[in-house]
Amino acid sequence: MRPAGPDDVPALLELLEAVERKRFRPPDDWSASTRVVENEHGLSGFALLRGPIGTGIQVSIAGTDISVRRRLLSWALAAASEQRASRLSLWLEKGRTEWLAGQGFHLARPFWRMDRPDLEAVPEGRLPAGFRLISRDQGLVGDEVWFQSRNAGFADHWNFAADSAESFERRRRDSDHWLQLLALNALNAHPAAVAFSSVIELGDERPQPVGYVEEVATLPPFRRRGLARALTIEALGRLRERGARSASLNVDALNPTQAYALYRTLGFEVAREYEVWERALDRTSS
pLDDT digits (tens, 9 = 90+) for 203-213: 788 999 999 99
Q: Which domain holds residue 223?
A: 116-274
Could you tell me if 98 and 143 lie in one domain?
no
pLDDT of the residue at 35: 95
Convert the pLDDT of each residue in 226-283 to its tens digit.
Answer: 999 999 999 999 999 999 999 999 999 998 888 999 999 999 999 999 999 999 997 6
Contact 44, 38 (CB under 8 A): yes
Within-domain flag for 235: yes
On the CB side of 12, CA atoms within 13 Å amount to 22
Q: What CA–CA distance (Å, rounded) separates 12 from 30? A: 13
Could you tell me if 122 and 229 lie in one domain?
yes
Contact 263, 163 (CB under 8 A): no
Could you tell me if 80 and 169 lie in one domain?
no
pLDDT of the residue at 17: 74
| Cα 103 from chain centre | 25
Q: CATH number for the domain including 80?
A: 3.40.630.30
pLDDT of the residue at 283: 60
Within-domain flag for 283: no
Convert the pLDDT of each residue in 2-56 to its tens digit.
Answer: 999 999 988 888 888 766 656 677 787 899 999 999 998 889 999 999 876 666 8
Could you tell me if 121 and 95 lie in one domain?
no
pLDDT band at 285 (very low <50, low <70, confident <90, very high): very low
Within-domain flag for 282: no
Domain count, the chain: 2
Average pLDDT over every residue of 192-212: 92
Within-domain flag for 19: yes
Residues in CB range of 105: below 8 A, 6 or more apart: 90, 277, 278, 279
**In degrees rounded to 5, what are phi and psi of residue 273?**
-115, 130
Within-domain flag for 279: no
Convert the pLDDT of each residue in 116-149 to its tens digit.
Answer: 999 999 998 899 999 999 999 999 999 999 999 9
Within-domain flag for 110: no
Average pLDDT over every residue of 94-113: 93
pLDDT of the residue at 269: 97
pLDDT of the residue at 53: 64
pTM for this prediction: 0.86
Question: Exposed e or buried b for every residue in 247-256, given b needs 16+ CB within 10 A?
Answer: bbbebbeebe
pLDDT band at 160 (very low <50, low <70, confident <90, very high): confident
Within-domain flag for 285: no
Could you tell me if 59 and 96 lie in one domain?
yes
Within-domain flag for 65: yes
